Amino acid sequence: MMTNHEQERLENINNLMISEFSKTLEMFALNKTEAQLFVTLFLNDEPMTLDDMKEVLGKSKTAMSTSIRTLLDYNLVEKVFIKGARKDLYQAKKDLYEKFMKTYVNRWLEALDRQVHSLESIEKELKKLDTNGENISHKIHEAIKFHQSLEEVFQQISKYDQ
C-alpha cells in the first residue's frame, strides 16, 4: 500500500511528465491541450474516457472531445471498444515513434505538395503578362526548388524510418 505522501509525489511526477513531454509534441504542430492529452493517454495503461481525461487535465469535457478528435485524425490515438461500456474509451497508439513520424512527415509532404502547386500556378499567371518579369520569375523558380528540396528530405526521412 502507498502512503498519502508517496501517492502525492507520484502524482507530481506524472504531472511533470505531462508538462515536459508535451513540450516536445507541441513542436510538432500539436497545440498545448492536444499534446497534454496525448501524454496523459500515453502514461495511462488503461483506456480513458472523456471524463477521466477532463479530471486529469482539469479542463472541460468539450475541450477533451475536440482535442481527442484531432488526435484521432492524426492517427495518434485510437478508440477502444469494450462491450457494455457506455462511454467512449481511448488509448494512445503503440509504436509512439513510428506513428508520430508518419503523421508528421505525411502532413508536411501534403502541405509542401500543395504549396508547389500554388507556386506553379503563380508562375503560369506571370507568364501571361507580356511584361518582362524575368526577375520575379527567377525568384519563383528558386522558391519552387526550395520546396522540392524540402520534399526530398522528408521523403528521405520516411524511407530511413521504415
How far apart are CB 137 and DNA at their closest, in Å? 29
Q: Check if the beta carbon of residue 39 is closer than 8 Å to that of residue 26.
A: no
Q: Which of 6, 46, 51, 73 binds its own copies (CB under 8 A)?
A: 6
Show the cell assigned to 127. 507568364
Report d(CA 109, CA 159) in Å as an integer.
Answer: 13
Rounded Cα distance, 55 and 85, in Å: 19
Stretch binding DNA (CB under 7 A), from 6-14, 39-47, 60-68, 121-129: 60-68
Q: Which of 25, 48, 50, 92 binds DNA (CB under 7 A)?
A: 50
Angle (CA) 83-86-90 rounded to 5° is: 80
Q: Quick one: which of 52, 58, 53, 60 has its CA closest to 38?
A: 53
User: Contacting its own copies (CB under 8 A), which of 13, 46, 73, 141?
Assistant: 13
The reply on whether position 70 binds DNA by CB under 7 A is: no
- Is position 15 an interface residue for DNA (rule: CB under 7 A)? no
Task: Please give the residue ranges that form the binding site for DNA (CB under 7 A).
Answer: 31-33, 49-51, 58-63, 65-69, 86-88
